[in-house]
Structures are given as structure tokens and as C-alpha cells.
Amino acid sequence: MRVDRWETLVVALLAAVTVAASLGVDGFANGSNVAFLLLDVTEIALMALTMTLVIVAAEIDLSVASTLGLCCAVLGRLWTAGLPIEAIMPICLVTGALAGALNGLLVTRLGLPSLAVTIGTFALYRGLAYVILGDQAVADLPPAYTGLATQSLGPIPLLTLLVVVLAVAAGILLHATGLGRAVTALGANEEAAYFAGIRVKRIKFWLFVASGTMAGLAALVFTFRYASARADNGVGLELAVVAAVLLGGVSIFGGRGTLAGVVAAVLLLAVVRNALILADVANEVLNFVTGLLLVASVLAPNLKVRLERKPVQ
């Protein structure tokens, strides 16, 4: 398979920025900063994995961060009600799965566009989170788990290992299995995929369930990492997730993209952010730079496709 030039560019940029930051920014290239950087990007990275699959399938899930908030609220509520944390954790994942299933049903059964559906459930799930937990913060979580969430194995945070394992699994799923091929094909041309016997709706439904479940997992990570379950956990993360996926070279129109590119993009955004913060760059500039990268990422691959693709009559 030919290496896509855009993804190579992202990796090169990541390397360049990392080297530049190591040389030019005090405090960037030390173990604790790198560990913090990696840890800090865990939720985005996790949700970006399933978001990649969803966007390759030419859909989108903008409700992931709200699903995360909903799962946090459920967790906080059940914990204050006295349930053991070991029982709450699976409930949390199931909550995410159900939220994803509702998205999936609305998209596949009613044939609604996922952009509209998940903008709706984006508000719905966040609202539900506030209904469940109000604006209270549940902080007295078991230290065994909050500790585990920030634990490292040598220089590498445990959670980063979790991300790596799941990223490899998602990469294999997308690039080396029949299911992944089917996802790519239906994202590129849903009608042809349907004519080839691919169960388009069923696959899309389960992608939304996976996306919701992953948001549930991200909710656990978020809650334990900050030792705080709140209804507003993760506000705005959906944009960071979608941004990373698009920057990673996944086409917003579906049908093309690689998991490696997305992982590189997640890291690139994290490194740029971290380096700029360490360099005491004002927050406004920081957002500006992130935004610039995003516009470039959306423009460049599409521009490339537009130039390469011959006009279709």
C-alpha cells in the first residue's frame, strides 16, 4: 500500500515539533513532563480511535464528550448512593453503549444524518448528566483507583499502555480485517457496499455503540485521573477528538484514513499545546495555533484529493 503523503507529513511535523521543543523549550524534554503530556491526552486519544472508525464510515459522533459527561454523572450518582465501584464501572460502560446505541438507531433506522442526530444528543446527554448529578462534584472516590489512573510503569503511564493496546487493536480492525475493509468501502460508497452484500446499517449501528462505549471508558479514566465526577466533565472534548482525527488525514467524507495518522495527530496536537504552555505563550495564541493546524489539516488533504481526482461526469 502506498503511504499517504499527508500522514507522512503529520509524522514528520510531530518529529520536528518534538525536536524543536526539546531544544528550545525549558522543561519539555524531561520524564515527568512527557508522562504528563501522555497522560493528559488519554481521553482524547481513546475517543479518537472509535471516532476514526465512525468518520471513515462517513458518519460523525459529536456526542462523545456529552456521553462522557453522562457516564461521569452516573458514576458519581451511584457512588454517592453507596454502590461498590466494581459494580459501577461496568454500568458506566453500558451507559455509554446505550447512548451510542440511541445515536445508531436514529441514524440507521430513521435514516437521519449523524451530524444532526449527534448535535441533538450532544445537548441531550449533557443535559441528562446535569439532571442526574446536578452541579455537585463527587470527589471521595476510592484511592486505589484514582492512584492507579496516575500510576506509571517505568517512565510510561499505565493509561498510555492502555491507549497503545487499544490503538493497535483498532488499527488491526480497520486495516487488516474484513470488517475494517467493509467500513472503508461503505464510507467511500455506501450504495456499492450495499450492492456487494455488506450489512451497511448493522455495521454503522455497532460503530456508534463502540463510540459510546469508548466514551464510557474515557469517562472512567477522566473521573479517576482528576478524582472528581462532575456533570461537566470533558466539556468541549468532542471538538478536540474530531480535530485530531481530521488532522490525522481521515477524510470527513469517509472512505479514507489510517489509524497511525490519527495517533500521530493526537500526539502532534498534544506536543504543540504542551510546548506552547511551557513557553508561556498566552492562551489565545495557543488556541490560534491549534486552529491554524486544523484548518490546514482539513484544507490540505481535501485540496490534494480535489487536485488528483479527475472531474467525474
Partner 1 sequence: MLALREVSKSFGAVRALRGVSLDLAPGEAHALAGENGAGKSTLVKILSGVHRPDEGALLLDGEPVEFHGPADARAAGVAVIYQEPALFPDLSVAENVFMGRHPRRSFGRVDRRAMRTRALDLFSRLGVPLDPARPARGLSIADQQLVEIAKALSRDARVLVMDEPTAALSGPEVERLFGVARSLRDQGRAVLFVSHRLDEMFALCERVTTLRDGAVVATDVLADITPDDLVRRMVGRDLAALFPKQPTVPGEVALKVDRLTREGVFTDVSFEVRAGEIVALAGLVGAGRSEVARAVFGVDRRDAGSVHVAGRPLRAGSPTEAMAAGVALVPEDRRQQGLVMDLSIERNIGLTTLKWGLLSRAAERARATDWAIRLQVRYAGLTDAVTVLSGGNQQKVVLAKWLARKPRVLIVDEPTRGIDVGTKAEVHRLLSELAAEGLAVLMISSELPEVLGMADRVLVMHEGRLVADLPRAEATEERVVAAATGRPA
Contact footprint for partner 1 (CB under 8 A)? 1-2, 172, 176-179, 181-182, 184-185, 188-189, 191-199, 255-256, 309-310, 312
- Gap between the Cα atoms of 56 and 79, Å rounded: 37
Residue 70 or 170: the one with the smaller Cβ distance to partner 1 is: 170
Least separation, in Å, of the C-beta of 10 and partner 1? 20
Residue 1 or 23: the one with the smaller Cβ distance to partner 1 is: 1
Residue 121 or 258: the one with the smaller Cβ distance to partner 1 is: 258
Residue 17 or 173: the one with the smaller Cβ distance to partner 1 is: 173
Q: How far is CA 44 from CA 52, 136, 258, in A?
A: 12, 24, 17
User: Grid coordinates representing 142?
Assistant: 476510592
Residue 148 or 196: the one with the smaller Cβ distance to partner 1 is: 196
**CA neighbours within 13 Å on the CB side: how many for 208?**
29
Residue 234 or 257: the one with the smaller Cβ distance to partner 1 is: 257
Q: How far is CA 140 from CA 137, 143, 231, in A?
A: 9, 8, 16
Least separation, in Å, of the C-beta of 102 and partner 1? 24
Phi, psi of 229 (to 5 degrees): -105, 115
User: Grid coordinates representing 291?
Assistant: 486552529
Q: What is the CA angle 262-267-268, rounded to 5?
A: 95
Chain-centroid distance of CA 311 in Å reads 34
Least separation, in Å, of the C-beta of 30 and partner 1? 40
- Gap between the Cα atoms of 245 and 49, Å rounded: 8
Least separation, in Å, of the C-beta of 84 and partner 1? 36
Least separation, in Å, of the C-beta of 11 and partner 1? 22
Tell whether the torsion through CA atoms of 21, 27, 29 and 32 is positive or negative: negative
3-class state of residue 136 by DSSP? coil
Least separation, in Å, of the C-beta of 181 and partner 1? 6
Residue 77 contacts residue 134 (beta carbons within 8 Å):
no
Least separation, in Å, of the C-beta of 190 and partner 1? 10
Which residues 6+ apart lie within 8 Å of 210 measured at CB?
Answer: 50, 53, 100
Residue 131 or 192: the one with the smaller Cβ distance to partner 1 is: 192
Least separation, in Å, of the C-beta of 193 and partner 1? 7
Strands 152-153 vs 156-157: parallel, antiparallel or unpaired: antiparallel
- Gap between the Cα atoms of 284 and 273, Å rounded: 12
User: Grid coordinates representing 209?
Assistant: 455503540
Residue 137 or 179: the one with the smaller Cβ distance to partner 1 is: 179
